[in-house]
Amino acid sequence: MALQRREKSSPEIPTGSMADIVFLLLVFFLVTTTMNQDKGIGMQLPPQGESKKIQKKNICNIWVNVNGDILINLSDNVPLSQLRADLERRMAENELLIVSLKADEETPYDKFIDVLDEVKLSGADKISLASPSE
């Protein structure tokens, strides 16, 4: 009996179209890539129920009204551009100063963030966010 050899099939994986596949994947990742990262103003909230008695002279109250006008300690009306310098001066006078930020219920968020940004830029690290109802 004559056994016929089977025809050999080539054991190699065809790599001719590899480059095409890689290009396709490359284009997919090029299109879907977003380089943006989450960023913003970091804050650490106080735990609930924690209230400390703080001496009045160590608190600097900042009120922000609906129009974004700023009032410090119920007496000084400070424009946003001068807030940083004003706070730096106050903090140089009193190292224990705590900045308490209070905004009206209807104050737009960007006005609040503008003020918070200036407070952060002034180097204040003790910042309290008071709720509007208090």
Partner 1 sequence: MNFKKKGGVAQSIPTGSMADITFLLLIFFMVSTVFVRFRVSGIMLPKAEKIEELKKRRHINYLWVSADRKVYIDDKIANVDQIAGIFYDRRIKDPRMVVSVKCDQRAPYGLISNVLEELRKADALRINFATNREG
φ/ψ (deg, to 5) at 128: -115, 135
The span from the CA of 34 to the CA of 29, in Å, is 10
44 binds partner 1 (CB under 8 A): yes
Q: What is the DSSP letter of 68?
A: -
Member of 71, 112, 126, 127 binding partner 1 (CB under 8 A): 112
Stretch that binds partner 1, among 31-39, 53-61, 73-81, 91-99 (CB under 8 A): 31-39
93 binds partner 1 (CB under 8 A): no
114 binds partner 1 (CB under 8 A): yes
132 binds partner 1 (CB under 8 A): yes
Beta bridge partners of 72: 62, 76
Mention every residue, 6+ apart, whose C-beta is less than 8 A from residue 102.
Answer: 61, 62, 63, 64, 129, 130, 132, 134
Pair of tokens at residue 118: 């200036």
22 binds partner 1 (CB under 8 A): yes
- Footprint of partner 1 (CB under 8 A): 18-19, 22-23, 25-26, 29-30, 32-35, 37-48, 64, 103-110, 112-114, 116-117, 120-121, 129, 131-132
